[in-house]
Amino acid sequence: MQYTNLGRTGLRVSRLCLGTMNFGAAGRTSEADSFAIMDKALGLGINFFDTANRYGGREYQGYTEQVIGQWLAQGGRRREEIVLATKVYGAMGPGPNDRGLTAYHIRQACDDSLRRLQTDHIDLYQMHHIDRRTPWEETWQAMELLVQQGKVLYVGSSNFAGWHIAQAQAAAAARHFMGLVSEQSLYNLRSRTAELEVIPACRAYGLGLIPWSPLAGGALGGGLQGATVGRRAEAEARRRFDDAQLAKLAAYEAFCQEMGEQPADVALAWLLHNPVVTAPIIGPRTEAQLVGSLRALDVQLSADALKRLNEIWPGPGGEAPEAYAW
C-alpha cells in the first residue's frame, strides 16, 4: 500500500480510502460482508475509512456508523490502526435543530456518532455541506471545543465550493485555528468542474482532496460493457447514456483495452496522478472488488495517455478564471 499526508497535516493515510456508504444499507452490503471487507482492507494496508452519520438508508438511525462500531468493538487494534472519518450536516431527526452546522447540532451529532461508532474520538470530522444560515464564528467555535475535548482531531469539508473553502479558512485563521485539512468533492474523468476553483483552493490552503464517486457511478468502471451484455443490452445502454456519452465511453473503454488495463483502474490512476488528491473513495460491495482496486496504484499514465484521456473527457479548460476569460 502507498501512503501520503492528509493535506498539510503530518497524518499518513492510504492512497485509497474505503467508502462505507453501502454498509448495512438494504439490498447493498450485509453486516457480515461489511465486516469481511473492512478486515480485508485493513489487511491490505488501507487505513483510511470514510463514513457519514446519514449513511445506511434507515432514516435518522446512522446505521452504517453502527455497523462500523460493531466491527471496531471486536478489538484487535482495529480502532488504533485506522484513520476514521465521518460527517455532520444532514437531518438526524425531525426537529428544526436536528441538522446543519450550528453549535447545537454539531455537539449532539458528534456525541451520537461517537456512541454509534463505539469510539472516544473521530479522526476526521467533515462538514457534509455548507450551511449558509450559520456564521462561521459559531461553527468554528463548536469544532474548536470538540478538538479541545479530544473528541475530534482534524476537521474537513465536503461539497464545498472554492469560495466556501476560502471563507472557512479566513475565519479559522482569525481564531488561530487550523481550520480545514481536507475537502471531499465530486471529481472524476466525467465530472471535472472541481478543476475550476475547488482544486486551486485546496492547493492554496493545503487541503487534501478526497474525490467521491471516482468511477462516476460505475460508468468509468466498464459501464458500457456492463450495459451491452445480455438480452436487453441495447435498451439498457440507451437508458443510462445518451449518444454523446455512449461515444465517449466506447472511446474510453477502447483506449483502456489498448493500454491493457481495466477502465476502473485507469480512472482511479488518473485521479491519483494529481498531487492535490489524497485518496479517491472506493466503495466496494465485495472483497473481490476491493482487492481489484489496488491495481490502480501501479498504473502509470504517460504524458501521451493523459493527453488521450483529456481528449476523450475534456475538462473545463483549466483553472478559473483562465478557463473562461483572458
Q: Find the CATH number of the domain harbouring 198.
A: 3.20.20.100
Angle at 318 between CA 312 and CA 321, to 5 degrees: 145
Interval 140-145 mean pLDDT = 98
Quickly count: other Cβ atoms within 10 Å of residue 161's Cβ.
18
> What per-residue confidence (pLDDT) applies to 242?
82
> What per-residue confidence (pLDDT) applies to 61?
86
Residue 298 is assigned to a structural domain of this protein: yes
Residue 137 Ramachandran class (φ > 0 left, ψ -120 to 50 alpha, else beta)? alpha
Strand ranges, E, within 78-160? 83-88, 122-127, 152-158
Sign for the pseudo-dihedral over CA of 99, 168, 156, 313? positive
Residue 145 pLDDT exceeds 80: yes
Residue 232 pLDDT exceeds 90: no
Q: From the candidates 55, 125, 154, 187, which is the catalytic residue?
A: 55
- Is residue 264 within 8 Å of 222, Cβ to Cβ? yes
Interval 58-64 mean pLDDT = 85
pLDDT digits (tens, 9 = 90+) for 150-196: 999 999 999 999 999 999 999 999 999 999 999 999 999 999 999 99
pLDDT digits (tens, 9 = 90+) for 1-17: 999 999 999 999 999 99
Rounded to an integer, what distance in angstroms lies between the CA atom of residue 133 and that of residue 284?
Answer: 36
CA separation, residue 288 to residues 40, 136, 212, 255, 282 (Å): 10, 43, 20, 24, 13
Q: Which residue has the higher pLDDT, 59 or 85?
A: 85
Alpha helices in 149-275 (DSSP H): 162-174, 198-205, 223-227, 233-240, 243-259, 263-272
Rounded to an integer, what distance in angstroms lies between the CA atom of residue 257 and that of residue 6?
Answer: 33
Rounded to an integer, what distance in angstroms lies between the CA atom of residue 111 and that of residue 115?
Answer: 6
CA dihedral of 220, 226, 232, 238, whole degrees rounded to 10: 10
Among 42, 125, 144, 142, which residue's Cα sits nearest to residue 85? 125
Tell me what percent of the residues of the chain surpass a pLDDT of 70: 95
Residue 236 is assigned to a structural domain of this protein: no
pLDDT digits (tens, 9 = 90+) for 128-139: 999 999 999 999
> What per-residue confidence (pLDDT) applies to 95?
93
Residue 281 is assigned to a structural domain of this protein: yes
Residue 250 is assigned to a structural domain of this protein: no
Length of the chain in terms of residues written: 326
> What per-residue confidence (pLDDT) applies to 234?
54
> What per-residue confidence (pLDDT) applies to 245?
86
CA dihedral of 182, 188, 193, 197, whole degrees rounded to 10: 30
Residue 231 is assigned to a structural domain of this protein: no
Band (pLDDT 50/70/90 cuts) for residue 230 is: low
Band (pLDDT 50/70/90 cuts) for residue 235 is: low
Residue 274 is assigned to a structural domain of this protein: yes
> What per-residue confidence (pLDDT) applies to 326?
78
Residue 224 pLDDT exceeds 80: no
Residue 238 is assigned to a structural domain of this protein: no
State the residue range of the domain holding 141: 3-221+262-303
Give catalytic status of residue 55 as yes or no.
Answer: yes
User: What's the number of domains the chain is made of?
Assistant: 1
